[in-house]
Structure formats: C-alpha cells, structure tokens
Structure 1
Amino acid sequence: MTENPMSRPAASALPPGAAIPRRGLMLVLSSPSGAGKSTIARALLEAEDGLEMSVSVTTRPPRPGERDGEHYHFITPEAYHELVRTNGLLEHARVFDNFYGTPRAPVEQALAGGRDVLFDIDWQGTQQVAENARADLVSVFILPPSVGELERRLKTRAQDSDEVVAKRMAKALDEISHYPEYDYILVNDDLERSIADVRAILRAERLRRQRRVGLADFVNAMRHAED
C-alpha cells in the first residue's frame, strides 16, 4: 500500500514549544501629562511577558520610598558626565538642577537577549533615542480625546491651582505638536481599548522580519529537512 505523503507529520525546524530567536525592541510611550501614558505603561508591564521598564539614572537624591535600581539609578554628577562623555546614555537631559538619562548598556543587553524595554520619555528623549538606535525603536504618541478633556483630567488628578494647570496645558499643546515624529498615534478616549491597541502594536512589531534574527536558520532548516 502506497503511503499518502499528506498523512505524514510535517518536519519541524524547531523543537515543540521553541520560538524563533529575535532581537528585542524599545517601545517608547510619550504623551502630554494627563493623557494616560503612565496608566497604559503599568497595564503593559503587568500583561506582557518579556517586557521590562527602562530604569533611568539621575543625579538628584532619592525621595522618600524610592529605591536605587528600581525607581532610578542614583549616581553622582561625576559618574553622569562620564556616561555622557563615553556615549553611555541613549538619551539625557537636564531638568532644573539635576540630570537624567537612559543607560545604554542594560538596554543593549536586554535587546540582545530578546527582551523588550519600555520607555516613558518625552519627545526630546525620543528624538535622541531615534538618533542613537532607530532600528530598535517603536514609538507611540498618546493623545487626549480633546483639549477640554485633558484640562478636566489635570484638574481632577492633580488638584493644582488654576495657574499651574494653565502652565501644564501650555506645555501639553507644545508636546502635542510633535506627534508627526512618532510611528503610531493613539487617541486615548477609551483606556481598555488603548491598552489593547498598544499590545497589538507590540505584538506586530515583535514579528517584524528584521528583528527575527533566527528566521534565516529556521527557514533553511525547513528547506533542507528532507535532504
């Protein structure tokens, strides 16, 4: 009796449960204050395996409850400037009298190991990351549904004075003008849908051919499985 070739199990180039090796990515979320970026970031970290938060360095002293290596890496100004001098930061900025930045080495280590890194930075930081590592960057800008809704959220959330809210609104409008610099734009009028949309972006970008560094070996193994 002749065997039907279609009845044989297909040869697999990977053992069961294995995944094609890939390089990780840097997922940047930016938004004006009050648009929901931090809430979406927390939801992503809880829901997505293989996603970790980038921990910045800073020269300011720890605040009550902050732990070194978890909230920030607290370093001296001398150590910070040495990182800048040796190109050890993916992005950096001075905020009032303190300095902040994203250390390059731990991010590179994560990406090489196939892990993804989440960034909560503004448009200026995103520009610097793009200059240093554009191929690894996936940037998402989150817009509020309206100026009125953004103002309402700021007043409800922070309980600041009208003067402070007005300053935040002016800054927000400037930040919003940089939306064309981002890969994806979301309007956060429904939080659960926005979280789902960012997860969909992450899933699609993880499948991008250029990041799947083990794809050529996988395909070649399939082509030669019957040799």
Structure 2
Amino acid sequence: MPFQQKKNLKVQQNRSAFTLIEMLLVLSLLLVLISVVWPAVLRINASNRLKQNMQDVKSAFAAARIRAIEHGINYQIYFELGGNHYLVVPVDKELLGQGIDSADTRQISSEEAVISQELSEDFEFSKNVAATVTEPAIPFEWLGNLPAAKDWKWMETSFPITFYPDGSAAFDLEHEILGKDQKRVASIELRGLTGSASISYDRETSR
C-alpha cells in the first residue's frame, strides 16, 4: 500500500471517535436543554395530576347524587378539612351494617356502601368552610362495623354535604383545594338546586 494511502487511512481512523472536548460540549448542551425543558415537564405533570384528582372528587359527588336517587335515601360527602381524605356515606344504618345479626347480602354490601378516597399528597382540602350546613352529620358509631372505620375519625370534625333522593343537595358550595404552598389551586363547586358539581382551576395551575 502506497505511503499516502496509509496516511489517509490513519487520519480517517483517528477521526472515527469523538474527542474529550467534543463529548464535554455535547454533554453541556444536553444539560442546558434539560434545565430548560424539565421545569415545563414538571408543571405539566403537576397540572395533569391535579386535574385527575379533581375529576375523582367530581365523580364522588356524582356517585353520591346517583346513589341517593337509586336507593331513595340521603347520601353525604365529607372532606377532611386540612387533609386529603374524603368519604361518600349513606344515611342508612342497615347499609352501614348496623342492626344486622347475620352475614346476609345486605351485610356484605355494607362494606361497599362507603366510598373512601384521597387526594394526592400535593393537595389538601381547605380548612375554611363557606357554607351553611342544614343537615346533621351521621353518628360516627354507624361506621363502627366497617373495617376501615378507625381511619375515618377525622370525619367527626368535618361537615356533611347532603344529597337527597330527588337529586338535589342541601346547599350551594364552593370549597377550595390547596397546594403545598397553601395557595388555592382549584375548587369544587356545587349547585344545591340541581345537585350538579363542577370544577374550577386557578389560572396559573391550569396552564
């Protein structure tokens, strides 16, 4: 092989790999790109998580209304004020397992009578209550036979949002959902006359 061809081949082989400076430059560009994009990714993820949480709360309101209509009894929703748990509870002793001696189908269904859910750890229900409560809360003892009753003690310091068999609710309501910084990120709004619930979001968190 002529000398010139060997030289050209050697140059090509030497250029087949990146130099250390080139690799550092590429890594630097990647870090800059990540630092620009990552905050936007986090915002989108937080916004999606909030919207999913609020849709779950809205579904709980819808479930309380539908169950009240179907069963012909009042249903109540409770928020953990300053916390992230919430419950849908029938105002009915038998559905809650009270006064039943045998393990019949009604007793079995009592374990499914309460809908127990919670917001993500990033969010909580406001402690402030902007409503006039017109219905009494069910006695906590009614929940005593249910396996998870010990986890619902917070309910005793909450307030009932009652749905009636005609589909209406006891009162109009707007209750705030707060983020980690204790600022409003969303609110659940209820119209008492129709029993319909809707969600509104803070302008910044909905982006």
- TM tier, shorter chain? under 0.3
TM normalised by structure 2 equals 0.26
